[in-house]
A and B are shown apart, each in its own frame.
Chain A
Amino acid sequence: GALRRAPIFLFKGERRRESHWRGREREERGERGFVDDCVPACLRERERESEREREMDQPEQPKPSPPPPEQPSFKVPTLEEIKAQEMMDNCAVRGVLSLVGGGGLGLFMGMLLGALDNPPHVDIMTAREQFIFTAKQIGSRSLSTAKAFAVMGAIFSTTECMVEKARAKHDLKNTAIAGCVTGGAISVRAGAKASCLGCVGFATFSVLIEKVLAGHQ
């Protein structure tokens, strides 16, 4: 079919022979379109002509130098950002956030630990009863763990925030002091010795975690 549509070059207004004209239906409908129906070769010719005309009209403009590579610009924080940051810096807010976060984490940990607990007695319960028993065990275990973790997180976060605000310095000492207070507060019921042990242990643990989390960046 493509060869039959030669001759390729159409002058403006020239019509093809009706029998070979693609737009025969359009002609029947009475639409004009001779000029637009030319094949790619004459289109290219037309483009070249118009380009030459444009070049002759305008003088050759010097190409603009490539723009310098985009540097990350500093944006002054807006008032909302400052207020949001100040709200985050509030010790009570941080404590509540840690409470919620600790509770969630404790839930998951509790579920894991509860699943690993001793299975109930196999001989006196059916499979369904075993399942229900294990599920209840997991549920109660996860709740208790969640409570413990929530309290730990809240105390740690609040203490760290207060200590850091008081010292006005960002250090590992803040983490150590907060860890000691948390560990001591948790095991205060077991006596003074257990409290000291808990203080030292939790402080070491929290400093290690902080180094691992914030050391590799």
Chain B
Amino acid sequence: MSTKQGFGQTATPKDVEEMVGMAQQEMEYRVELFNKLTQSCFDKCIEKKFKDSELNLGENSCVDRCVHKYWQVTAMIGQLLSSGRPPM
């Protein structure tokens, strides 16, 4: 059983465990990102009167932009954190 064939190494059970743990963490991170994104864009863009069950044109474009900006911000912050810690 060699799960790290690309690196030219054979995987020990410990490595597999590590990878599974990392994948689980990544999954949790993704899920939380999705939930937060949905929650904040919903709060910002959709008016709470709910006169119609379909998204308006304005709400549609608002949600589009909200998601785009959120994603940009996440990517930017991720880059900043990973490249080097900013001086405190």
- Give the interface of A toward B (CB within 8 A): 85, 89, 161, 164-165, 167-171, 174, 214, 217
Which B residues from 18 to 42 make CB contacts under 8 A with A?
A: none
Which residue in A85, A174, A217 is a CB contact (below 8 Å) of B58? A174
Most central of B47, B60, B65 by chain A CB within 10 Å: B60
Most central of B45, B52, B57, B58 by chain A CB within 10 Å: B57
Look across to chain B and name the residue whose beta carbon is closest to the beta carbon of A165.
B61
What's the least CB distance linking B67 to chain A, in Å?
Answer: 12
Tell me the complex Cα distance, A77–B47, Å: 21
Instruction: State whether A214 touches B62 (Cβ < 8 A).
Output: no
What's the least CB distance linking A37 to chain B, in Å?
Answer: 61
Which residue in A161, A168, A171, A214 is a CB contact (below 8 Å) of B65? A168
What's the least CB distance linking A108 to chain B, in Å?
Answer: 28
Cβ of B56 under 8 Å from chain A: yes
What's the least CB distance linking B72 to chain A, in Å?
Answer: 17
**11 CB-based A-B contacts, threshold 8 Å:** A161-B57, A164-B56, A164-B58, A165-B58, A167-B58, A168-B65, A170-B47, A170-B56, A174-B58, A217-B51, A217-B52
Q: What are the 6 tightest A-B residue pairs by CB atom distance, in nearest-first order?
A: A168-B62, A170-B56, A170-B58, A164-B58, A169-B58, A168-B61
Instruction: State whether A214 touches B51 (Cβ < 8 A).
Output: yes
Most central of A161, A165, A170, A214 by chain B CB within 10 Å: A170
What's the least CB distance linking A168 to chain B, in Å?
Answer: 4
Please count how many residues in chain B sit with their CB below 8 Å of the partner chain's CB atoms: 12
Q: What residues of chain B lie closer than 8 Å to A89, measured between beta carbons?
A: 57, 60-61
Q: What residues of chain A lie closer than 8 Å to B57, measured between beta carbons?
A: 89, 161, 164-165, 170
Tell me the complex Cα distance, A174–B51, Å: 17
What's the least CB distance linking B49 to chain A, in Å?
Answer: 10
Q: What residues of chain A lie closer than 8 Å to B56, measured between beta carbons?
A: 164, 170
Look across to chain B and name the residue whose beta carbon is closest to the beta carbon of A91.
B57
Tell me the complex Cα distance, A27–B27, Å: 79
Look across to chain B and name the residue whose beta carbon is closest to the beta carbon of A86.
B60
Tell me the complex Cα distance, A151–B56, Å: 24
What's the least CB distance linking A39 to chain B, in Å?
Answer: 60
What's the least CB distance linking B41 to chain A, in Å?
Answer: 11
Tell me the complex Cα distance, A217–B49, Å: 12
What's the least CB distance linking B86 to chain A, in Å?
Answer: 32
Instruction: State whether A168 touches B51 (Cβ < 8 A).
Output: no
